[in-house]
Amino acid sequence: MLDSWATGFSSIASPEAILLILIGTILGIFFGATPGMTSSMGIALILPVTYGMSLIYGMCLILGIYIGSISGGLITAILFNIPGTPASVATTFDGYPMAKRGEGGRAIRIGTLYSFLGGSLSLIVLFFLAPLVASFALSFSAPEYFAIAVFSLILISTLSGKSMIKGFISALAGLLFTTIGMAPVDSVFRYTFGFHALDGGFSILPVLVGLFAVVEIIKGAENPSGFSSKALKYKSKGIGVTWAEFKGQLKNMFVSAGVGTGIGILPGLGATFSNLIAYSVSKKTSKKPETYGKGSIDGIVASETANNATSGGALVPLLSMGIPGDAGTAIMLAAFMLHGITPGPLLFTTHGDVIYGMFAVLIVANILMYLVMIFGLGGFLKLLDIKKNILYPIILVLACVGAFALNNRIFDMWAIFIFSIIGYALVKFKFPITPFVIGFVLGPLLEINLRRGMMTTYGSFLDFFTRPISGSILIFTILLVIFYSLKGIRDKRIKTTFNNGDPKEI
């Protein structure tokens, strides 16, 4: 065991390898921070560059991007309220309020620290528990995925404090937009009205850019003084949390890491879910849920720990079964096969040195990610000095270009435009945006697994409840809904009696 590790580390004990990891990490952070570009795009772009290299050097680059991009998203999420990648959506909830108070630097430090910790925790699971966990993941089939999707949808829709109904409407609207395009299973066209551009449906990127980036610009446009340009102090030092705060966050950290790793291990779910789910779980199990969304570090801890933990988790099915956990790992699979290696159960025995080399790369990449982000912090904060009316249009152009680069068609930019209008409407009429995003992301998952599940159970929905895992998740979800509805009614009654019978909405 120990000598495998030694072999692993020795394979990257060269300046070229470390340099490649560094370059990969920096590139990854850049891709992560730019809205409109994602980690899988970065990995796809770098893949040809790795053709000529040995596998381990190629992995240095790829894994560097992989780890860097999940963390980079928090920079723009915190400073500009625009998530750099879907994995940092929940970071905007508490990160941006902190930035508005002048604590942006501290927020970034906290986010980076917990990204590092979350990644490390999931790497530990990867290193020591991979085969075990992988076989558990095998017992997840369509009904289980359906159950998880339903659970996540309900959980996140109830996040929005003020009006659960509006949250549900938002989520349903998001779901509805996913039905545009080809249906799963039988591929009939739905709601395309003859426009062939709509055949493929909308992808998450234009949706995010339109909902977040453009809406931010509009908010600035509607503010009478242009963008409020108050010079806020951003100085921060050290790690970002005191020892006391760190101890307070331990439970939050472990739970979020668990959620993130678990979701990563399930093929098909990625960091996009885990950060939102971890945030919801954290908020619901916290003793002071009302502080969430106003700049409490709990929110950032939950979101960033989970999304980095997902990257480690996603490598488990890749390395132990050859099944990619998310888009980035799918491209890694291609990289492996290019070099003549087929990931799978035998990988540990036939190419153990490769595996341990990768583990070594991951550890180094995680550390380098932390260092780069912290050293670059001054530079990131300088971005804030740029007047927003100059910076935001540039960010938007970058995002549009990224969206265009997805499929090389202008339609994706029109998609940004469409969703910016929707986002504007949602904000103006006070509907929460997050459930819309989660509905949009979960839509395909929900439908495909409902239909596949029904096919495997020969048309019996009841079987979804009798299967142990899906049944327990579904029943838990139903109990959750009942619990929260009753709680809502009870809270209303209490408020009513306190107001002397004057019926007032909470």
Partner 1 sequence: MIHKYKNLIAGCFILLFSLVFFLTSFSIKLTQIDTFVGSRLFPQIITVLLMLLSVWIIIENIVKNRKGIIEEEVQEDENEHSLEKANGPKQNYFKTILVFVSLALYISILDSIGFMISTIIYLFTQMFLLESKGKRKLIQYLVVSVISTVVIFYLFTEVFNLVLPRGRLF
- The contact mask relative to partner 1 for 337-376 (x = CB under 8 A, - = no) is ----------------------------------------
Q: Which of 9, 417, 465, 484 lies at the binding interface for partner 1 (CB under 8 A)?
A: 417
- Is there binding between residue 3 and partner 1 (CB under 8 A)? no
Residues 190-229 interacting with partner 1 (rule: CB under 8 A) = 190-191, 214, 217-218, 220-227
Q: Least distance in Å: CB of 189 to partner 1? A: 8
Q: Least distance in Å: CB of 34 to partner 1? A: 10
Q: Least distance in Å: CB of 382 to partner 1? A: 15
- Is there binding between residue 414 and partner 1 (CB under 8 A)? yes
Q: Is 268 helix (H, G, I), strand (E, B) or coil?
A: coil
Q: Which of 2, 244, 390, 462 lies at the binding interface for partner 1 (CB under 8 A)?
A: 390
Residue 118 or 423: which CB sits closer to partner 1? 423
The first and second tokens of residue 6, run together, are 């030694």
CB 467 within 8 A of CB 144: yes
Distance separating alpha carbons of residues 268 and 146, to the nearest angstrom: 12
Residues 447-466 interacting with partner 1 (rule: CB under 8 A) = 447, 450-451, 454, 459
Picking from 288, 286, 277, the residue whose alpha carbon sits closest to that of residue 310 is 277
Q: Determine phi and psi for 366, rounding to 5 degrees.
A: -60, -45
The residue length of the chain stands at 506
Q: Is 189 helix (H, G, I), strand (E, B) or coil?
A: strand
Residue 183 or 330: which CB sits closer to partner 1? 183
- Give, as one character, the DSSP assignment of residue 181: E
**Binding segment (CB under 8 A) for partner 1, from list 6-14, 80-88, 146-154, 170-178:** 170-178
Residue 153 or 259: which CB sits closer to partner 1? 153
Burial of 16 (C-beta count, 10 Å sphere; 0-12/13-18/19+): exposed
Q: Which of 18, 53, 129, 176 lies at the binding interface for partner 1 (CB under 8 A)?
A: 176
Q: What is the DSSP string of 92-130?
A: HHHHHHHHHTT-HHHHHHHHHHHHHHHHHHHHHHHHHHH
- Is there binding between residue 183 and partner 1 (CB under 8 A)? yes
Q: What is the DSSP string of 5-67?
A: HHHHHHHT-SHHHHHHHHHHHHHHHHHHHSTT--HHHHHHHHGGGGTTS-HHHHHHHHHHHHH
The first and second tokens of residue 35, run together, are 């809205």
Ramachandran region, residue 340 (left: φ > 0; alpha: ψ -120 to 50; beta: rest): left
- Is there binding between residue 498 and partner 1 (CB under 8 A)? no
Residues in contact with partner 1, counted by CB under 8 A, come to a total of 63
- Is there binding between residue 20 and partner 1 (CB under 8 A)? no
Q: Which residues bind partner 1 (CB under 8 A)?
A: 45, 165-166, 168-169, 172-173, 175-176, 179, 183, 185-186, 188-191, 214, 217-218, 220-227, 387-390, 392-394, 396-398, 400-401, 404-405, 408, 410, 413-414, 416-417, 420-421, 424, 429-431, 446-447, 450-451, 454, 459, 503-505
